[in-house]
C-alpha cells in the first residue's frame, strides 16, 4: 500500500478534493493517507469524511492523522504540501500594513510585500520538510501547492528532494481562451512557459491553424476586453497571452495599481477579482464561517469525477507508467534558455514510470522573458533572505518589487519592512532580534551650502550651461 503524507491537511476543502481525486483513480485504490497539521481540529473532520467515503465505496484505502511531521513522512512514497504558516492572522498583516503605506494588493500571495513575507514564513518550513524527507523517505516525490509557488520551489531546487510545484492557472486560462475563440479546450494545441502566475502561451493553434489572430481580434471588442482588462492590456502591448487573471497580474507589474486613476481604470470590477484585498477578505469570510462548523459533515460521499488538479494524474503516471503531460514548476536548468538556470520555471513536463521529465522550451520571446525577470529578481533575493535571516535583503527584495517601487520611496519601503518584521516576528524565527538599519530623514536647511567636492566629469557640462544661463 503506497503512503501519501499530506503536510498542511488542515486546508479542509482542498485536502478533501485531492483525496477524492486519488480515491477515484482505480490504480490508486490502495492508498494510506497520513494527514498532518499542527492540531487535529480540522484533520479529524477530513478523516471522518474520508472514512465514510472509503466505507460507502468499498475502497481499500485508509486514513490516519498526526501532529508529528516526521511520523507522517516516515517511509512515504509521496508528500503533498499545502500549509500556510501564520494562517489568516499573518495574511491580515501582509495586506493591511502595506495598504497603510499605499501599496494596494488584491491577492498578496505571490509577489509584492505580501508574497515576500509569505515566502519568508514558509521557506524555512519547506526546507525543514525537505531535510526530513532526505532522511525518512529519500525516494519520495514532493508535490507542492504552497504559495508563493516560484519562491518555494526555488528553495526546494537547492535540496536533493524530487519535487514539482502545481498550480491550476494553465487549465483555467485554457477555459477562458476556449470561450473567447469558440473551440473546445481539449482541441487546442498550446505551449505555455515562463514562471508561476506569469506563464506565456507562446503557441495556440487548432488543427494547425494559429489562434492568436482570432484571440487578438476578440480583445479589441469592448464586450470581451472588459472581462480581463489587465491581462488584455498586457496581451495587447507584449503580444502574448498570460496565465493569470486581473487580480493576480495587476500586482506583478507597475502599471495597474500604482494610483487611484489606474485602479479605477483597470481594477474597478469587483466581480472579476481586481478589488483591494479580495483574497484576504474571502479567506477571512471562509475562516469565520467555518470556525465552529464541520464543513464536510453533509458532503456527499459518492466518488465524483476527478477535478482539474494535476496531483492524482501525476501519481497515477508515476505508479503505472501511463504518461501524463502537464505544466509544472521545477528548477529551470535549461528548460527555458533565456531565464536563469537556478530559478523556478513553469513549463511543459511529462510524468511516467521514469519520473518527472522536463521539455526543453528554448527562448521565450525577449519581451516576455524580460517581464519574467522583473519578478525573478524579487524571488532570488527573497529566497536568500528567508535562508539567511538578513533584514537588509528583505528591504532590497521589496525595493525591486514592480508594484511597491511604483508607489513608495526607498525610505518608505524600509519603514514598511521594519513594521512588517516587527508585527510578524512570531512566524519569522530566522529574523529574531534583527531589523533593517534605521535611516533617518536628512533635513536640508534652505541656506545650506554645498560641500566642496570634485565634480563628476560627466556632469561638468551641465555646470557650464548653468554659468552661461547666469
Before 36, cis peptide (omega within 30)? no
Active site residue ranges: 168, 252
Rounded CA separation 154/157 (Å): 5
**Phi, psi of 183, deg, nearest 5:** -130, 135
Name the burial class of residue 338, with classes exposed (0-12), middle (13-18) and buried (19+) by CB atoms within 10 angstroms of its CB.
Answer: middle
Count other Cβ atoms within 10 Å, centred on residue 270.
10
Burial of 86-100, coded b for 16+ CB within 10 Å and e otherwise, reads: beeebbbbbbebbbe
d(Cα 466, Cα 470) in Å, to the nearest integer?
A: 7
Categorise residue 197: left if φ over 0, alpha if ψ from -120 to 50, beta otherwise: left
* Distance separating alpha carbons of residues 217 and 15, to the nearest angstrom: 40
Q: Which of 164, 8, 18, 140 is nearest to 74 (CA)?
A: 140
**Residue bearing cell 570634485:** 454
- CA proximity to 274, closest of 92, 104, 400, 398: 104
Q: What is the spatial distance between Cα 330 and Cα 370, in angstroms, rounded to a whole number?
A: 20
Can you say how many angstroms the Cα of residue 178 is from the centroid of all Cα atoms in its chain?
24
Grid cell for residue 25: 483513480
**Start-to-end CA span in the chain (Å):** 88
Among candidates 58, 76, 57, 56, which has minimal Cα distance to 66? Answer: 76
Residue 27 contacts residue 316 (beta carbons within 8 Å): yes
Q: Can you read off the three cell numbers belonging to residue 268?
A: 474597478
Cα within 13 Å of Cα(222), Cβ side: 0
SS3 364: coil
Amino acid at each position: 500500500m503506497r503512503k501519501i503524507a499530506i503536510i498542511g491537511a488542515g486546508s479542509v476543502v482542498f485536502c478533501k478534493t485531492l483525496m477524492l481525486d486519488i480515491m477515484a483513480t482505480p490504480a490508486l485504490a490502495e492508498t494510506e493517507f497520513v494527514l498532518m497539521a499542527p492540531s487535529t481540529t480540522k484533520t479529524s473532520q477530513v478523516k471522518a469524511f474520508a472514512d465514510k467515503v472509503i466505507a460507502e465505496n468499498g475502497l481499500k484505502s485508509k486514513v490516519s492523522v498526526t501532529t508529528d511531521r516526521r511520523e507522517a513522512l516516515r517511509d512515504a512514497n509521496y508528500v503533498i504540501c499545502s500549509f500556510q504558516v501564520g494562517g489568516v492572522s499573518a495574511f491580515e498583516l501582509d495586506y493591511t500594513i502595506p495598504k497603510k503605506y499605499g501599496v494596494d494588493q488584491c491577492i498578496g500571495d505571490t509577489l509584492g510585500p505580501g508574497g515576500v513575507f509569505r515566502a519568508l514564513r514558509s521557506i524555512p518550513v519547506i526546507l525543514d520538510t525537505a531535510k526530513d524527507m532526505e532522511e525518512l523517505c529519500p525516494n519520495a516525490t514532493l508535490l507542492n501547492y504552497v504559495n508563493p509557488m516560484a519562491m518555494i520551489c526555488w528553495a526546494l531546487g537547492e535540496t536533493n528532494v524530487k519535487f514539482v510545484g502545481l498550480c491550476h492557472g494553465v487549465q483555467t486560462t485554457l477555459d477562458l481562451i476556449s470561450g473567447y475563440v469558440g473551440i473546445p479546450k481539449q482541441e487546442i494545441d498550446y505551449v505555455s512557459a515562463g514562471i508561476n502566475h506569469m506563464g506565456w502561451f507562446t503557441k495556440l493553434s487548432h488543427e494547425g491553424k494559429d489562434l492568436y489572430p482570432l484571440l487578438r481580434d476578440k480583445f479589441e471588442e469592448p464586450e470581451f476586453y472588459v472581462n480581463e482588462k489587465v491581462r488584455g492590456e498586457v496581451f495587447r502591448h507584449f503580444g502574448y497571452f498570460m496565465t493569470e487573471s486581473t487580480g493576480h497580474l495587476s500586482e506583478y507589474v507597475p502599471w495597474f495599481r500604482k494610483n487611484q486613476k489606474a485602479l479605477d481604470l483597470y481594477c474597478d470590477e469587483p466581480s472579476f477579482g481586481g478589488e483591494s484585498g479580495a483574497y484576504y477578505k474571502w479567506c477571512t469570510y471562509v475562516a469565520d464561517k467555518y470556525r465552529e462548523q464541520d464543513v464536510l459533515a453533509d458532503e456527499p460521499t459518492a466518488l465524483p469525477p476527478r477535478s482539474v488538479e494535476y496531483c492524482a494524474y501525476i501519481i497515477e503516471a508515476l505508479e503505472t507508467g501511463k504518461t501524463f503531460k502537464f505544466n509544472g514548476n521545477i528548477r529551470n536548468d535549461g528548460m527555458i534558455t533565456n531565464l536563469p538556470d537556478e530559478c523556478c520555471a513553469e513549463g511543459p513536463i511529462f510524468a511516467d514510470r521514469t519520473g518527472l521529465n522536463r521539455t526543453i522550451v528554448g527562448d521565450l520571446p525577449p519581451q516576455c522573458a524580460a517581464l519574467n525577470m522583473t519578478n525573478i529578481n524579487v524571488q532570488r533575493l527573497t529566497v536568500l533572505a528567508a535562508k539567511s535571516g538578513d533584514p537588509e535583503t528583505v528591504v532590497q527584495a521589496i525595493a525591486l518589487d514592480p508594484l511597491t517601487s511604483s508607489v513608495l520611496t526607498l525610505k518608505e519601503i524600509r519603514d514598511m519592512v521594519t513594521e512588517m518584521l516587527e508585527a510578524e516576528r512570531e512566524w519569522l524565527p530566522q529574523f529574531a532580534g534583527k531589523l533593517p538599519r534605521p535611516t533617518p530623514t536628512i533635513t536640508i536647511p534652505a541656506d545650506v551650502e554645498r560641500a566642496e567636492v570634485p565634480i563628476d566629469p560627466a556632469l561638468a557640462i551641465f555646470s557650464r550651461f548653468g554659468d552661461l544661463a547666469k
